[in-house]
Chain A
């Protein structure tokens, strides 16, 4: 525990030092990156130890803030979130040194590093806070620091817009959380998590809904996701990695924590989570398929993965209420494991996208192509991340979803709502997996394969050594996570036991041990087969170099890069099918002659929910607000009178 506090102190200090050194960008980079790396190493150790031993440690200091106390708790659940946090922020900082080098002198790097380390510190605070006031402090600090980072390239209007949406969503979420914590702690002198009284049924449901919405704004599931596809691509790539990899998981963490305060659960809560999760999962994957920008694809994929986690939680809750411990345990374990896995592979993917952006100056899919030849180190790493995101063995994405599948299949031989929940989750998981596979084939294929579509893509260069190092480390962890399933069951079990209950942990561990051994064995066999195939190929070639031709050279006299399948043409059959949901705008040429002339074609995906749900409501509210604009007439005297009247009213009211 003390080491976690030490890492907090390192983060705060290094963030202050980086801010002070803002005038010397290279020094600020050093201060920020060394601080983040040191804090990660210091924090990783106690988090891992807590996961292995299952002990809960608490330290408390007095604090003069009303209702607050400086209580830090490190239990296995928090530790399970802290491990990916420290891994990802440490590696992102390493990555950021190379990534931000080009911005030296153009952008305030001291501020960026200060905000980055503050963001990390705030997340550590969120995961270890044992008091609602302290938690909210961390929560707001996290929102503020990430807001600054989203605004990194503030000269672009779409970035300012993204940051504004992000700030609004964060504020709305925090408001609901304040309400939820007030309801939970009504009547207690200190809002410590350990001292919350058990709420009555009605209050518990209200707290559940408030916490779901409040944390949902951070987690970014549908329909509270609107800020996510705007803000994640806007931030610098290593920050996108942290935001998508772990920051949105603070929402999941919060939901799990609050669920612990409002036991016993009700069945409809589980169904709510399950349905919201299923919708986010499907829509996230579907929208990822229609995006034109690499980082937006990844952002929508994050929505899909948050949906998977939420759906697994919902499945588990239905299982708990219906008394199916094994199903519940497997689902909870799957949800937690996917939290860890998603943060690793999404971090890797965002860093890969950042390398592309860094190399080619754009992440627009239609402007890329042929990067595999120009970035031979980044391309396989991005491929590994994509495979993990599509839940393909032998990578870790498969392991987490496998647990959920296992739970879902187990439920099929029971009856009633358990069977229904299991069936829904299994089907949604499978369809979302297929859509995600299509989305990543499209994104990875368009960016890395074929011929470069623009001069900028043709002039792309390989990423810097520190960037490659960070991505390799994450890819290795993704692979290990897929192969070392049986060894992950112990820490996973302690986390499930601390978050949900010991019986679920035992049931899940018991049910998953043998299948996980098979998963690992299968993964190893697959790797061995790939190795054998590679060796065979080498032996077959016998040192000769195979002939190489231009990609898409199939018999054309003068092939051009524009003859390739583009991102939108690749996905057109699928996106046309889902047009009623996607509602993309576009113009298609109609070919009516034998020798068609010039034609152009365009598609544009719109943020459907933002445009058709949030905008009308916002416009309505704005119109309503303007009805009262006569109150704001600009006459100073009357403004002062408002204040006088209010003060007098308050005085008389209290007399």
Chain B
């Protein structure tokens, strides 16, 4: 029964690596959506026996949100902003994938050290941690605001999987709260991205440093 779940875990990790090297913005959005869908299916496969009706309904909601609603919103933001269609990384793709691999190794080590209850699906803790790291990687090393939203979504996927490791079949309350946060975040960011691109004709967050309180070198002269 768990073999399929473990396959999904492996798939999640592979998606992390793919995200680290994908340059096209639309592929990125699709990859994140795919990751969200498989992560949403995971609780149905991880438990033993037939899943609860509640879990099924919940999985359906998550799959719809992450697989259809969020990607559509993000694609729309990408089209509206009229910016370049690649992710504009601040570091090179090989460096990204190296960092991602390093993060996976570190999370394997962390997973063995963390005092957690024994999960019944192998690799679930390392996979969740490395997904969270990948999300942070997307946030910190890509310059577009839209990739930051993607990063948050990836982090959310990671947290969701992590929640599975802790309470199998019962991550619902935790997940519900986080999902609400992320939904609001995506919503706000969608608006913010739209406004940034309207005000500045681009969605490059690096240029936002113009708005910083203290510009370097200006004081004291």
Which residues on A sit within 8 Å (CB–CB) of B216? Answer: 629-630, 633
- SS class, residues of chain A in contact with chain B: helix
A576 at the interface (CB under 8 A from B): no
B99 nearest CB across to chain A (Å) = 12
Return the contact of A637 from the options B110, B141, B211, B220 (Cβ within 8 A). Answer: B141
Interface size of A in residues (CB-CB distance below 8 Å) = 16
A600 nearest CB across to chain B (Å) = 37
Contact with B along A624-655 (1 / 0, CB 8 A): 00100110111111101100100000010001
Question: A623 to B148, alpha carbons, bound, how many Å?
Answer: 34
With A626-B219, A629-B219, A655-B113: A640-B139 Cβ-Cβ less than 8 Å = yes
A162 nearest CB across to chain B (Å) = 24
Asked if A635 and B136 sit within 8 Å, CB to CB, the answer is no
Question: A634 to B210, alpha carbons, bound, how many Å?
Answer: 7
Which residues on A sit within 8 Å (CB–CB) of B110? Answer: 651, 655
Which residues on B sit within 8 Å (CB–CB) of A629? Answer: 214, 216, 219
Asked if B220 and A626 sit within 8 Å, CB to CB, the answer is yes
Asked if A626 and B206 sit within 8 Å, CB to CB, the answer is no
Question: A635 to B213, alpha carbons, bound, how many Å?
Answer: 12
Question: A580 to B142, alpha carbons, bound, how many Å?
Answer: 62
With A626-B219, A644-B136, A655-B114: A637-B212 Cβ-Cβ less than 8 Å = no
Asked if B209 and A635 sit within 8 Å, CB to CB, the answer is yes
Asked if B211 and A634 sit within 8 Å, CB to CB, the answer is yes
The residue of chain B having its C-beta at the shortest distance from the C-beta of A626 within the complex is B219
With A629-B214, A655-B113, A655-B114: A636-B205 Cβ-Cβ less than 8 Å = yes
Which residues on A sit within 8 Å (CB–CB) of B209? Answer: 633-635
Which residues on A sit within 8 Å (CB–CB) of B143? Answer: 637
The residue of chain B having its C-beta at the shortest distance from the C-beta of A637 within the complex is B140
B57 at the interface (CB under 8 A from A): no
Asked if B205 and A637 sit within 8 Å, CB to CB, the answer is yes
Contact with A along B181-220 (1 / 0, CB 8 A): 0000000000000000000000001101111111010011
Which residues on A sit within 8 Å (CB–CB) of B114? Answer: 655
Which residues on A sit within 8 Å (CB–CB) of B205? Answer: 635-637
The residue of chain B having its C-beta at the shortest distance from the C-beta of A655 within the complex is B113
Asked if B208 and A634 sit within 8 Å, CB to CB, the answer is yes
- SS class, residues of chain B in contact with chain A: helix
Question: A638 to B208, alpha carbons, bound, how many Å?
Answer: 12
Asked if B208 and A636 sit within 8 Å, CB to CB, the answer is yes
B218 nearest CB across to chain A (Å) = 9
B98 at the interface (CB under 8 A from A): no
Which residues on A sit within 8 Å (CB–CB) of B220? Answer: 623, 626
Q: Which of A633, A634, A635, A638 has the most CB of B within 10 A?
A: A634
B189 nearest CB across to chain A (Å) = 12
Return the contact of B90 from the options A626, A630, A637, A644 (Cβ within 8 A). Answer: A637
Which residues on B sit within 8 Å (CB–CB) of A634? Answer: 208-212
Which parts of B136-193 form the interface with A (CB within 8 Å)? 136, 139-143, 148
Which residues on A sit within 8 Å (CB–CB) of B211? Answer: 634
Which residues on A sit within 8 Å (CB–CB) of B214? Answer: 626, 629, 632
Which residues on A sit within 8 Å (CB–CB) of B140? Answer: 637-638, 640-641, 644
Question: A561 to B221, alpha carbons, bound, how many Å?
Answer: 49
Which residues on B sit within 8 Å (CB–CB) of A644? Answer: 136, 140
Question: A630 to B220, alpha carbons, bound, how many Å?
Answer: 14
Return the contact of A636 from the options B136, B148, B213, B219 (Cβ within 8 A). Answer: B148
B204 nearest CB across to chain A (Å) = 11
Question: A632 to B90, alpha carbons, bound, how many Å?
Answer: 19
Asked if A633 and B219 sit within 8 Å, CB to CB, the answer is no
Asked if A635 and B206 sit within 8 Å, CB to CB, the answer is yes
The residue of chain B having its C-beta at the shortest distance from the C-beta of A623 within the complex is B220
Question: A507 to B199, alpha carbons, bound, how many Å?
Answer: 78
Q: Which of B90, B114, B212, B214 has the most CB of A within 10 A?
A: B214
Which residues on A sit within 8 Å (CB–CB) of B141? Answer: 637
Contact with A along B114-145 (1 / 0, CB 8 A): 10000000000000000000001001111100
The residue of chain B having its C-beta at the shortest distance from the C-beta of A643 within the complex is B136
Question: A208 to B208, alpha carbons, bound, how many Å?
Answer: 49
The residue of chain B having its C-beta at the shortest distance from the C-beta of A636 within the complex is B205
The residue of chain A having its C-beta at the shortest distance from the C-beta of B136 within the complex is A644
Q: Which of A623, A636, A641 has the most CB of B within 10 A?
A: A636
Asked if A633 and B136 sit within 8 Å, CB to CB, the answer is no
Which residues on A sit within 8 Å (CB–CB) of B139? Answer: 637, 640
Question: A143 to B124, alpha carbons, bound, how many Å?
Answer: 51
Contact with A along B29-46 (1 / 0, CB 8 A): 000000000000000000
Question: A245 to B141, alpha carbons, bound, how many Å?
Answer: 59
A548 nearest CB across to chain B (Å) = 64
Q: Which of A629, A632, A637, A644 has the most CB of B within 10 A?
A: A637
Which residues on B sit within 8 Å (CB–CB) of A651? Answer: 110
The residue of chain B having its C-beta at the shortest distance from the C-beta of A628 within the complex is B214
Q: Which of B113, B140, B148, B219 has the most CB of A within 10 A?
A: B140
Question: A634 to B204, alpha carbons, bound, how many Å?
Answer: 13
Question: A644 to B138, alpha carbons, bound, how many Å?
Answer: 12
Asked if A633 and B148 sit within 8 Å, CB to CB, the answer is no
Question: A632 to B216, alpha carbons, bound, how many Å?
Answer: 9
Question: A651 to B143, alpha carbons, bound, how many Å?
Answer: 27
A639 nearest CB across to chain B (Å) = 9
B112 nearest CB across to chain A (Å) = 11
Contact with B along A352-371 (1 / 0, CB 8 A): 00000000000000000000
Question: A630 to B214, alpha carbons, bound, how many Å?
Answer: 9
The residue of chain A having its C-beta at the shortest distance from the C-beta of B135 within the complex is A644
Return the contact of B213 from the options A623, A632, A637, A655 (Cβ within 8 A). Answer: A632
B173 nearest CB across to chain A (Å) = 22
The residue of chain A having its C-beta at the shortest distance from the C-beta of B210 within the complex is A634
A626 nearest CB across to chain B (Å) = 5
Which residues on A sit within 8 Å (CB–CB) of B113? Answer: 655
Question: A630 to B216, alpha carbons, bound, how many Å?
Answer: 6
Q: Which of A626, A629, A638 has the most CB of B within 10 A?
A: A629
Question: A640 to B141, alpha carbons, bound, how many Å?
Answer: 10
Which residues on B sit within 8 Å (CB–CB) of A637? Answer: 90, 139-143, 148, 205-206
Question: A632 to B212, alpha carbons, bound, how many Å?
Answer: 7
Question: A141 to B159, alpha carbons, bound, how many Å?
Answer: 39
Asked if A640 and B210 sit within 8 Å, CB to CB, the answer is no
Which residues on A sit within 8 Å (CB–CB) of B208? Answer: 634-636
A252 nearest CB across to chain B (Å) = 40
Question: A397 to B112, alpha carbons, bound, how many Å?
Answer: 74
Contact with A along B41-65 (1 / 0, CB 8 A): 0000000000000000000000000
Contact with B along A485-515 (1 / 0, CB 8 A): 0000000000000000000000000000000
Question: A655 to B114, alpha carbons, bound, how many Å?
Answer: 7
Task: Supply 6 A–B pairs (Cβ within 8 Å), ascending by A.
Answer: A629-B219, A633-B212, A634-B210, A637-B140, A640-B139, A644-B140
Identify 13 new A-B residue pairs, CB closer than 8 A, beyond the known A635-B208, A637-B205, A640-B139: A623-B220, A626-B219, A626-B220, A629-B216, A629-B219, A632-B213, A632-B214, A634-B212, A637-B206, A640-B136, A651-B110, A655-B113, A655-B114
Q: List the 10 closest pairs (A to B, CB-CB), nearest first.
A: A634-B212, A634-B209, A641-B140, A637-B140, A629-B214, A636-B205, A644-B136, A640-B139, A635-B209, A626-B219
